[in-house]
Chains A and B, each alone.
Chain A
């Protein structure tokens, strides 16, 4: 359980990045935070793993204020993948990178080996086990960052822009894995601009603008609400745009997925023929 209570945050340079954010996230939820550049998304999620502490207000994870635990301790519970993978990669091989946190948390070598093998295979990185993370492509580096966090199986997983550099197959694999985490009762929070990925994942969506949460709701209702998407600088998913352009034909306007779209169209064509 994550409780964010009326949080304000100001960076040392005077920029107020959060202006009164309150939020409650239950165990096992899947949340996507979306919104304009500079809205405060990254700043907000950095509060959940304790990297940043509120200037005013409080953030508590499982009832404990983030001011009262060390980041090191909290990170066992809250895994965090940075927006830019270069901020978290520093080991000489991909294998060491993925094993790093596991070693820190005191896992046994044998288990570490197993977890590393598992995480590398999940993220299609097996062939890079002995490679330096700095000799990989952009998308591959992002996947090493993902692997290094997913490896220790934290209860809360925060992924800042997880789909950057990822092709469709990698995204689909990631989507399936997130679903699996949710069924295990784990909480997943992603920050993303990738509307098509959100349309396929169907998470609970939180929209931010100028340091505040402006709306939240199901992916379908938020991404097809014209006023909301405009406010949050989002372009609706392509399927939703198609149905919007056909709205005079009295088709439903809350369709965001291609298979849902096909069903609606087939129903309509059958009825009319």
Chain B
């Protein structure tokens, strides 16, 4: 079942001089783990803002075409209503944090949904634990390091466990071990609870192993849309500046020298296994 469907989405910001989205038609199935990538300024954040109604309700301007999320036509429902189903981790964590303590920020969304106190407590504790910030719970978010703030922003959305989780470069400030741990948890929510994940990322080495659907945007348009292996290995992905996983890149440059691995690897496990076959075969 499609959980997000856009048809011919076209949009210009009120102060914009060019189209930020142009005829974007995509379908995301319930339970997919989508990686959305492509050059800076390509329209990724703008598209995410259409999913939770920030575009057009908050940013204004005219949104042409259709966008339906969890069965709701975004144009006809308020941001507040949509927030019950869709959580968005902002690209810039500071724009999302405003409470006087980390704990209050993480509890805020849940309180708004009218969830019983005991449950709020449990969910907040869990989200803080998962993001590794339990010991920061009393601290004001504006007195934290960049990565600590971003962890709070992620905890806010994790605590809500929405049907659709949209994460806009959620780990750009987070140390790699922390990022991997958070991706693992998101992956678990995706696989076990069927939560649909849309992850905007430039650094694909860490994230791509979880994805089963990759969308590439450039200049406001969808230029590639498909299975990770195909998309990462396509010539156009590299040419427009997608930071394809190094495992895939290694496959490509080995091929230039006449060494073919049996399939296209997208992570280190796959690459080492395929290389092992070539290395041990030639020896015997």
Chain A interface (Cβ < 8 Å from any Cβ of B): 11, 13, 15, 35-38, 42, 83-84, 86, 131-132, 135-140, 143, 160-161, 163-171, 193-196, 230, 232-235, 237-239, 241-243, 245-246, 249, 258-259, 261-262, 265-266, 268-269, 272-273
Contacts and interface: CB of A to CB of B under 8 A. Distances in A.
Contacts of B13: 135
Given A238-B205, A245-B272, A138 B169 contact: yes
B179 A193 contact: yes
Nearest to B276: A246
B246 A258 contact: yes
B19 interface: no
B176 interface: yes
Size class of the contact patch on chain B: 35 or more
A167 B146 contact: no
A233 B174 CA distance: 10
Contacts of A265: 254, 259, 275, 279
B241 A266 contact: no
Contact of B175 (A160, A234, A262, A266): A234
Interface string B174-205: 11111110000000000000000000001101
Nearest to B270: A242
B255 to A, nearest CB: 10
B41 A238 contact: no
Interface of B: 13, 15-17, 38-42, 44-45, 91-92, 94, 139, 143-148, 151, 168-169, 172-180, 202-203, 205-206, 238, 240-247, 249-250, 253-254, 257, 259, 267-269, 271-272, 275-276, 278-280, 282-283
8 contacts: A36-B178, A137-B45, A139-B202, A161-B173, A166-B40, A235-B176, A268-B279, A269-B278
Contacts of B151: 37
**Of A13, A140, A143, A241, which is in contact with the most chain B CB atoms at under 10 Å from its CB?**
A241
Nearest to A132: B15
A167 B177 CA distance: 22
Contacts of A269: 259, 278-279, 282
A167 B243 contact: yes
Contacts of B268: 238, 241-242, 245
B148 to A, nearest CB: 5
A-B pairs, top 7 by smallest CB distance, nearest first, are A37-B147, A139-B40, A169-B241, A245-B272, A235-B176, A168-B243, A241-B268
Contacts of B179: 193, 235
A233 B250 contact: no
B49 to A, nearest CB: 11
Given A164-B169, A246-B275, A266-B257, A196 B246 contact: yes
